[in-house]
Structure 1
């Protein structure tokens, strides 16, 4: 009898009692429940864009909501202006998605100019805290501006030459985020001046580009305010057509052998001498001209120069502005480019004077131009001195008219010692000889300046 009892105890000792099993099941269920309740204790994250303070007609407000925990349950967006509360969006998400983005186009028919607030309420699918979903409420205040700038033209007469420059004076009803003169795809920035007498006065140097025919030249004053509202206006002008020369440049192997090594590291070391030269004459030329536009943005908002510009003394004219050039190799035309400056030849290594007062914005090697100095004279007007053998100034230096800044040379794509002299407006090459003419400056520039 005692033997059987002992065996029975052994068998029952190997099994978990029913009460203990139930306790474990309850404990696991409790842990799972607590996990479900506390697995998402972070409310949704809401971002409202843009970051600007002012919005205009057609502006879009973007609301982005994320909740990587339990996912989103609902979203409400309102615009509050005065005593009006306008519903902009109301969304529910049964599946509990993790991120949503709402792009809201402002409706000028239901909103008026002035301050308004975007209010956002986002709820997630969490159970914590005990039945109330995780909720985020946030807002952002903007100012709605629906009125574009008004443009007041103050230069009634604007005479230009094809390839030449001009100055436009105009005023705006408000300070612009961007304004200037648009000529096709080219943009000439304008610069705010002091003393607008209740308006915002702007000076804009612009050009009739050499490659735009008179019939195609249509300049417009454009202005955009901080809210993105834009305005555009034509103005009175007269421009004279110009006929530019056509020339030929003969390329020889000896010239290319002499020139190409200066561009080491800039030209692919493959192909013939002609292939490498054409790469310089095309690809690098375009890159260099793009740099001139970049330099033009490093300009003084006020005029730094005065009176006519000075010319390289005792120098003979060689190539002229906007000469069309056919490049010939072994009797065949292999390229075409336009010469956008004046070539002035004097003695070898002749001292080069600054054309007028200004600030040095560049003094270094620049591809086809060789060693270069670029001077800024304000309002985007800059002078360029190229193919130099030596440079006597540094970026940031202020120079005076006639000060020696360099010496002529034959660096870059130069066939001999000379000065390539250029004038750019907004980075666009223009006719330099206009700036040597005191009468032209008086009638077309100085007479408009207050």
Structure 2
């Protein structure tokens, strides 16, 4: 029994000694490299680049080698005496001038203060490849719309030259817009060149427009040029007063609340509260869903190759509501709410077929509060079209449509006073004047002519 106790004590002491030496004296955890995922692939040699390490026992030393084609350009070794738990190592910049496109390999090793490995400590080594890129992107406008109007939109095609482009955006001074690559099939550009295009909006709520294009490459080099458009500040705003009849509200609000909300009809005090809920909260929810669909689900694929057709969704239609209308709603002679109409209302016969004017893909198809049965089709370059108040539609998200396909049928679903189509045109979530997009001359001058001018300009250079 005594021998067994002695054996157990010896084993326990051995375990304790092992733990002490391995976890305190001979700690075996290597320094942790913390910044690999955030490192760029290209370097402009202006910004400082740092590698970050951490270790519980502290950082003892580091070494750096800079290699070009397996030849060592620079080497450095240094002891870190203050034993920092975290350590930032700034990569040394090459002492000689190097051409853009040159790849440097940084071999970095960091050692800690552990007594393991015969008191040499633990070591972490990392290799970092960086392409030298000191040149900012070059932006050249190829063609653009001749002007832009407040509440309207414009189109621009431009060329960007850079060896490692990262992002291209447009701005109207307040809102940003993605740019999209465009390829002319009969034109081949240099490997470091690409054509980009985008629609840009001047939303009704923005008083000013200051256009610009900004390009940033993977080395964080930036370029920005102004996008000059002659501007039309005049916006035709029509004001209309709408009297809400109690019998209409009772029938319409009851069915709407049953379809779109968890709140029951009887939970509101009166029709005024019910209408405010529909016209403001449901409208806001609609807007958020449409914004998400037209900004986050759009892809780089474009259904616009060399132009677009005017939007003519209904045959023999008349306009019963204009874009930008300021609508004041009254109940019992009291002003209840004011809203702006962000689409074009078109009426024809009851349950009239709605036709696609341009190809695209369905990015939203559901019942929305005010809009009722709704479909949103994405066409390309950030452009989408919305069709609301439909009585029926067989489309579903992901369906591709071609010009002439039936989108659905007019109706009075949602907040509608009668059978009609509510048509919206959206540029990356911003509703713009539909009257422009239904006007053949405007479409030809502001969209199709831009494609033709840019193509001709590039073709002349290739031929030369």
The TM-score with structure 2 as length reference comes to 0.78
| Structure 1 position 246, deviation (Å) | 1.9
Q: In 1, distance between residues paired with 2:55 and 2:338? A: 60
1:57/1:229 contact within 8 Å kept: no
Question: Displacement of 1:317 after TM fit?
Answer: 1.1
- Supply the distance in 2 between the matched residues of 1:87 and 1:313 (Cα, whole angstroms): 76
Counterpart for residue 176 of structure 1? 165
Tell me which of 384, 393, 396 is aligned to 1:394.
396
Residue matched to 1:12:
none
Gap change, CA 1:268 and 1:157, over 3 Å in 2: same
Structure 2 match to 1:418: 420
- Cα distance in structure 2, aligned partners of 1:299 and 1:421: 24
Which stretch of structure 1 is more off in the superposition, 224-233 or 355-364? Answer: 355-364
CA drift of 1:234 comes to 0.9
Indicate the RMSD between aligned Cα atoms, in angstroms: 3.6
Say if 1:344 and 1:418, in contact at 8 Å, map to a contact too: yes
Q: Measure, in 1, the Cα distance between the counterparts of 2:77 and 2:338.
A: 58
Residues 310 and 402 in structure 1, CA contact (< 8 A), matched pair in contact too: no
Counterpart in 2 of 1:300?
Answer: 301
Q: Are 1:212 and 2:206 an aligned pair? A: yes
Q: CA deviation at 1:266?
A: 8.0
In the TM superposition, residue 56 of structure 1 has moved relative to its aligned partner by 4.1
Q: Which runs of 5+ in 2 are unaligned?
A: 1-5, 456-464
Alpha-carbon separation, structure 2, partners of 1:286 and 1:79: 55
Say which is worse superposed, 333-342 or 195-204, in terms of deviation: 195-204
Please tell me whether the aligned partners of residues 296 and 426 of structure 1 are also in contact (alpha carbons under 8 angstroms): no
* Bigger Rg, which one: 1
Equivalent residue for 1:363?
A: 365
Q: Which moved more, 1:284-293 or 1:72-81?
A: 72-81
Give how far 1:84 is off. Answer: 4.9
Gaps of 5+ in 1: 1-20
Shift of 1:233: 0.5
| DSSP-derived class of the 1:374 partner | strand
Instruction: Give CA-to-partner distance per residue, 1:70-121, whole Å, 9 cap, x none.
Output: x124243647365653869963344xx6x52527598799986543344433
Alignment match of 1:349 (pick from 345, 351, 371): 351
Q: SS of 1:148's equivalent? A: coil
Equivalent pair of 1:220/1:233 in contact (CA under 8 Å): yes
Query: What SS does the corresponding residue of 1:234 show, helix, strand or coil?
Result: strand
Q: Secondary structure at the match of 1:154?
A: strand
Structure 2 distance, partners of 1:238, 1:157, is 10
In structure 2, the residue matched to 1:259 is 256
Other-structure match for 1:8: none
The answer for the alignment partner of 2:137 in structure 1 is 149
Distance 1:88 1:287 in 2: 56
Cα shift at 1:349: 1.8
- C-alpha contact (below 8 Å) 2:59/2:87 kept by paired residues: no
Change in Cα spacing, 1:153 to 1:109, as seen in structure 2 (3 Å) is farther
Please name the residue that 2:231 is paired with: 239
Contact 2:145 2:450 in 1 (8 A): no
Distance in 2 separating the partners of 1:31 and 1:368 = 72
Q: SS of 1:170's equivalent?
A: strand
- Provide the C-alpha distance between the structure 1 equivalents of 2:212 and 2:408, rounded to a whole number of angstroms: 38
1:325-350 CA-to-partner distances (Å, cap 9, x unmatched) read 23334433343322111011222222
Q: Using a 3 Å threshold, how does the CA distance of structure 1 residues 319 and 67 change in structure 2: closer, same or farther?
A: same
| Residues 1:283 and 2:280 are matched in the alignment | no
How many residues are aligned here?
421
Match for 1:92 among 73, 76, 81? 81
The whole-number CA distance in structure 2 between the counterparts of 1:66 and 1:267 is 57
With normalisation by structure 1, the TM-score equals 0.80
SS of the residue 1:390 aligns to: coil
Paired residues of 2:145 and 2:155 also in contact (CA < 8 A): no
Contact 1:158 1:168 in 2 (8 A): no
**Partner in structure 2 of residue 4 of structure 1:** none
SS of 1:172's equivalent in the other structure is: strand
CA contact 1:317–1:343 (8 Å) conserved in 2: yes
1:72 aligns with 2:58: yes
CA contact (8 A) 1:268 1:276 kept: no
**How many Å separate the matches in 2 of 1:439 and 1:315?**
19
Cα offset, 1:220, TM superposition: 0.6
Shift of residue 284 of structure 1?
Answer: 1.2
